[in-house]
Structure 1
Amino acid sequence: MKPRFEGRVALVTGGGTGIGAAAAARLRDEGALVYVLGRREAPLDAVAKATGAIALPADAADPAAVRNALARIVERHDRLDVVVANAGGFGIGAVADTSDDDWRRACRANLDTAFVITREALPMLIESRGAIVIVSSIAGLAAGPEAAGYVTVKHALIGLTRSLARDYGRCGVRTNAICPGWVRTEMADDEMRTLMAARSIPTLDEAYALATRDVPLGRAADASEIASVIAFLASDDASAMNGAVVVADGGATIVDVPTLAFADPSPR
């Protein structure tokens, strides 16, 4: 079969690690010419070396930096077909414990990055009738404990997805969101280490097992599994999908929490 992205150009923000790096690898495997954008050069260079992607060091929340990065893409290829708005992080803490700086950092890292990159890329995407995939989270659907900034901005990303889909669908630009649950990434590993310290858990594997104890699949996803959903949403196979919010969480958000006390903890 012909690779789904042959001849197409894709840009992945937060492309140096985790889901972004996996998405870049998947899009490259399927024939795309991929640019990975992020603030840290070393991880971007590592992804570029491993996948054949092209590193674009820049802050996705900085309009001038994004315009410069997109100008490089236009100069080289005169097109852009796919944007994966994946940059994110920060926002841990309950409302009363969240400083103004922490709040602004969460908004900038998650929401501003997606807003700026999509706004600046829209003229190119309209021309190519391209696709946007915004990486939200199941934190965009429900609230976890003491993560007010992260929960709020991940909810906002779904609103951004729907606004883009509503306003630019008639221009041929499809915008969809993916909401992953626990995914084994460097960022999630750090959260697991916090859990390990709080519960005296000796290993990362055991911490992930506890965190996913009530997830129907009983495990965290691999970043490559999320990347496969991103590639689908960006491809022509999803040509009728616009404004969709696709959940990839192993079934976590279908669980009826008040009935957990009645659940048999043993695998069937």
Structure 2
Amino acid sequence: MPKSSIGHQERLRAVENLLLWAGQVSRARLAELFEVHGTVLSRDMAAHVESVPDNCRYDLTARAYIVTPYARPHLTEGKFEEYEGLVGSLPAKGLRAGVQLVSIQQNGTDVKRWSFSRIHIAIREGKQIDIEYRSLSNPVKHPRTIRPHAFIQAGPRWHVRAYCGMAEGFRDFNLGRIARVEDPVATEMPGPESDREWNRVIELRLRPHPHLNREQEQLVRDECLAGTVMRVFEVRLPLSKFVIQARGAAIDVDTQAPPEYLLAVYEPEALPHGALL
């Protein structure tokens, strides 16, 4: 995301957003977002602390202000979309050079501030965390201990990639299905270096759906594939399924047909296990 030189009030809102959603804010992190001298950024953080003293405490080791359990939004609405706009997942207001840009992207995941910030800290510090989770196979809340190592934004849904003690392996967890999150603690669970699927990059090929006629195929090539016969994505193995979903590509071309599906996965049977599910 390009740096912004917007004003004091906007930077104060950024301080609050980072506290609420990332769990901490530092001068170094603000310097990644704003083209402002470090002294000014320190004053911004001090001004926020003075106006909302219960929201954070200073941690000498981290050299950052850490969110407290009492933190509440004061300058912001406390919405996840505000954090997304700040860090660049969605177009940020004030950075559109006078050109109107309307996004219909809506979050399909109910992301909670406390949950997100605790998981954020666990990823950053390489710790494990106790959660309560629900899944389609087990829709009743049940405890799990995970060591998260990456957030995944897949269209309107958010996930976290983590080692799961119950499953004894790495899994993707939908943030909207996490009901409770405890504070992170030290761990000996495997980290991202042990996530073989995550560290494996595959080639995913998408082509026009074979049931299109010649003119329709050319249209889809021009619209979706930059005029080429096929587009190749180099993607982490567990993320392949999200790319397929985001592109609306058919896996079974006999049951997934146009006009709902304009693209298709090339030779899906040749993809490694885990690429499609």
Question: What is the TM-score of this pair, normalised by structure 2?
Answer: 0.31
Q: Which has the higher strand share?
A: 2
Structure with the greater alpha carbon radius of gyration: 2
Higher relative contact order (Cα pairs below 8 Å, separated by 6+ residues): 1
Question: What is the TM-score of this pair, normalised by structure 1?
Answer: 0.31
